[in-house]
Each structure stands twice: as C-alpha cells, then as structure tokens.
C-alpha cells in the first residue's frame, strides 16, 4: 500500500492491449528523447530554426537548390465548361478528368482523418468551407487553387468533404459507443475471439470525447478560431511548400512531413513545425508570385476582420454587463 492508501499499480495488473492503454502519456515516450518534446526545448529549437531560416544562411537563389527542374502546376480552372460539343469522344471530358483525378481519394481520406481527429461536425464544416475560401483567396498565387465553381462547391464540398466527414463521424460514433474491455489473446475462449482480439489490436486502447463549445464565451471562441487558423495554415503550407521548393505532388515529404501519433502530446511540436513551414514559404517565395491580390479580396477580408473584432467586443461587453447585474 502507498502512504495515501492507494494500492501500487503493478505492470502485470494493467490490461493487456499491447501499449499500456491506461498508463501515463509520458510512458509512451522514449526516456532518451522525451526532453525533445517539452515546450521549453521546442521553443528554443523554434527560435533557432526561425533565425536560421530568415537569415542569409539559407540562400533563396534557385541555382543553389538541389532540384533544378521547375515542375509544371496543374490548373483545374482552365476550362470550366461542363459540356464540350466539339469533343465527340467525351463531351464531359472536364468533369471526367476532375472526378477521376488522383487526389480525389486522398481528399476523401484526408477529411475522414480530420473527422476522427476533431470529432465535431459543425467545426469540420467550418474548416471545409473555410479552406475553399482560402483557395479562392490564394488562387492568384497558386495555379492548383484555380478551380471551377462546380469543382469547388459540388465536387469538393458536397461530395468529397461530405463523404469524408460522414465516414469519419460514423467511425467516431462507433468508437464512442464501444465498451473497451481488453482481454489478452491467450485468454480468448475460441478462434473467433482470438481473431477479433487480433484485429482489435489495431484499434484505439481508449476513446476520449471532445467537446469544443465554441459559443461558450468570447475567449473560447477565440481559442477555437485559432485552432481553425492553425489547421488551415497547415493545409496551405502543403501547397505552398510544393510550389516554392518544386517538390513533386507524389513525394513522400508531402504526406509524411508530420509523423506524430497524437496532437495533444505533440501540440507544441505541431505548432512549431507549422510556423517553420510558414517561414520557409515566405523565405523562398520571393519573386514567385508576381500577381497582387485583387482589391475586392483585400476589402472582403479587412471587412470580415473588422466585423469579427466588433462582434467580440460587443459579446464581451454584454457578458460583463450580465455578470455585473448578477453581482448586484
């Protein structure tokens, strides 16, 4: 017995699930490298990396780059016609090529993963529509963002994003309602139980419910909004890095640039990587975007920002007045 009356938990008393399901998060880290994931260490590494990127130590001369071949960027909005009467072989060629593009499956799988990670359907739809607005905002900089209206609204939002969010939320509901009672493989009574236990090894050891509540208060709203901005920044970094550094779309660096098991335990590391990627895009993007942002877009986002600030001020003032009346 411990001095506080609790029994010491032995290693053999923990339920068998391959990775010590109920143990501390710190036990999942290698003790020799656990120091690298602490906020103080990551902050120091982030400051050093930012200084290295923004100084003259890294040259922006394309001649010094390892990749000397500029890659062509595909524009999906070159011809937005749905029906092509002059093409007798395939009069719906534009729709066919867009629908069977190699990144459609990756689009669906990506939103399925986001749904499992975020576990909140309204917030997922905010991110879905928000990223389409980001594509509209930066379409003058990246040819990949130049999409047709039916590609952006119908194919992306209403088909790919919806199906990925729907499948992800069904997966979340399945694990949310599941009872987690792990029993070792050797203790299964029959072969069917052993097979189910083996397949269950690839499922989560436990499942936590995430409640965002963005309308709980102004400060909570700002926190959720900041999270959305970080998510969209990570998504945008993928396309800008590919364009600035001339990385092929199928390069593994595009997919595996953040190999983390959890967002919570690696939150500092994820934010640091996002900031470093953003600085790399700014550093190596000089001279690559000759077209300025349209004036109507500048006006739109400036008005949106001003309206958001006014909304938060009024909301905070109303909460302050209500609390003041309650105290009186």
pLDDT tens digit string along 8-60? 444 444 334 444 344 444 445 555 555 555 666 666 666 766 666 665 555 54
> Rg of the chain's alpha carbons, rounded to an integer?
25
Measured in residues, the chain has a length of 328
In which band, very low, low, confident or very high, does the pLDDT at 116 lie, cut at 50, 70 and 90?
A: confident
Q: Work out the mean pLDDT of the chain and round it to a whole number.
A: 75
Q: Measured between alpha carbons, how far apart are the two ends of the chain, in Å?
A: 51
Going by the DSSP 8-state scheme, the letter that residue 308 receives in this structure is H
Between 89-93, 143-147, 243-247, 259-263, the lowest mean confidence (pLDDT) is in 259-263
Residue ranges of the domains in the chain?
A: 295-328
Higher pLDDT, 83 or 318: 318
Percent of the chain with pLDDT over 70: 62
The span from the CA of 168 to the CA of 265, in Å, is 22
Q: Which two tokens stand for residue 208?
A: 């936590």
276 pLDDT more than 70: yes
Region 86-103: mean pLDDT is: 80
The span from the CA of 121 to the CA of 115, in Å, is 7
Query: DSSP alpha helices (H): ranges in 55-103?
Result: 93-99
The span from the CA of 147 to the CA of 293, in Å, is 17
pLDDT for residue 59: 53
CA angle (250 as vertex; 247, 255 as ends), nearest 5: 90
Q: If 0-12 CB within 10 Å is exposed, 13-18 middle and 19+ buried, where does residue 184 land? A: exposed
Region 275-284: mean pLDDT is: 83
Between 72-76, 259-263, 305-309, the lowest mean confidence (pLDDT) is in 259-263
Region 282-296: mean pLDDT is: 86
pLDDT for residue 125: 94
pLDDT for residue 102: 73
Around Cβ 126, how many Cβ atoms within 10 Å?
Answer: 17
pLDDT in tens, 2-15: 444 444 444 444 33
pLDDT for residue 6: 42
pLDDT for residue 161: 92
Higher pLDDT, 51 or 126: 126
Most confident range (mean pLDDT) of 30-44, 78-92, 311-325 is 311-325
The span from the CA of 147 to the CA of 136, in Å, is 8
pLDDT in tens, 186-218: 666 667 766 666 666 656 666 666 678 888 899
Identify the residue whose tokens are 């890095």: 241
Q: Are 92 and 83 in contact (CB under 8 A)?
A: yes
Q: Which two tokens stand for residue 89?
A: 């072989």
């Amino acid at each position: 017995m411990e001095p506080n009356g609790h029994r010491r938990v032995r290693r053999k008393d923990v339920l068998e699930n391959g990775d010590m399901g109920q143990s501390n998060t710190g036990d999942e880290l290698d003790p020799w490298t656990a120091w690298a994931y602490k906020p103080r260490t990551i902050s120091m590494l982030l400051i050093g990396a930012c200084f290295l990127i923004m100084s003259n130590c890294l040259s922006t001369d394309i001649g010094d780059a390892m990749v000397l071949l500029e890659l062509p960027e595909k524009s999906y909005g070159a011809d937005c016609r749905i029906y092509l009467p002059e093409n007798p072989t395939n009069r719906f060629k534009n729709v066919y090529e867009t629908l069977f593009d190699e990144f459609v499956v990756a689009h669906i799988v990506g939103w399925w993963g986001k749904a499992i990670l975020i576990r909140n359907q309204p917030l997922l739809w905010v991110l879905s529509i928000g990223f389409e607005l980001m594509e509209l905002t930066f379409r003058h900089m990246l040819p990949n963002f130049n999409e047709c209206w039916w590609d952006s609204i119908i194919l992306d939002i209403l088909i790919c994003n919806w199906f990925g969010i729907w499948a992800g939320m069904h997966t979340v509901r399945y694990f949310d309602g599941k009872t987690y009672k792990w029993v070792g493989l050797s203790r299964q009574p029959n072969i069917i139980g052993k097979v189910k236990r083996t397949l269950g090894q690839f499922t989560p050891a436990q499942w936590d419910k995430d409640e965002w509540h963005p309308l709980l208060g102004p400060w909570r709203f700002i926190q959720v909004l900041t999270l959305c901005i970080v998510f969209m920044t990570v998504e945008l970094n993928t396309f800008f890095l590919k364009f600035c550094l001339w990385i092929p779309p199928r390069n593994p660096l595009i997919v595996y640039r953040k190999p983390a098991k959890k967002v919570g335990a690696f939150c500092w590391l994820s934010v640091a990587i996002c900031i470093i990627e953003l600085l790399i895009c700014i550093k190596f993007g000089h001279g690559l975007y000759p077209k300025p942002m349209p004036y109507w877009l500048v006006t739109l986002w400036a008005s949106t920002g001003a309206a958001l600030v006014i909304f938060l001020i009024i909301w905070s003032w109303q909460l302050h007045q209500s609390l003041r009346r309650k105290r009186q």
